[in-house]
Amino acid sequence: MDSPDFEQVIQQLIEQTESHQEVIVNIAQRLYEKGWKEGFEEGLEQGRKEALMNIARVLLKHGVSIELVMKMTSEIQVYTSLLSDIKERIRSG
């Protein structure tokens, strides 16, 4: 391979590598954001469950029947689930 062709090949490789780097960085960024969002959502869900457990403990401590506590926490779960669905629909447009 003579010098001008070699330099042209090297230049093409550099250009391709640069364009691939951008694609790779974009893919990595999207995966990172997706993972962060999923982790955030899981954290919120865990927080909701802990809050419901705390509410149930307080209600039981104050003499509310277990049947009523179960009904109330179930209704709270349905309500928060509906709110989450509505928020997601608003975000996605």
Query: What pLDDT was estimated at residue 22?
Result: 78
Determine the pLDDT at residue 62: 95
User: What integer pLDDT is reported at residue 81 of this predicted model?
Assistant: 78
Instruction: Please give, one letter per residue, the 3-state secondary structure of 9-50.
Output: HHHHHHHHHHHHHHHHHHHHHHHHHHHHHHHHHHHHHHHHHH
Which residues of the chain fall below pLDDT 50? none
Give the start-to-end residue ranges of the domains of the chain: 3-92
In the prediction, which pLDDT does 23 show? 76
Tell me the per-residue pLDDT of 22-48, one tens digit each, with 9 for 90 and over: 777 787 889 899 999 999 989 988 998
- Rounded-to-integer distance, Cα 45 and Cα 34, Å: 16
For the whole model, what pTM was predicted?
Answer: 0.54
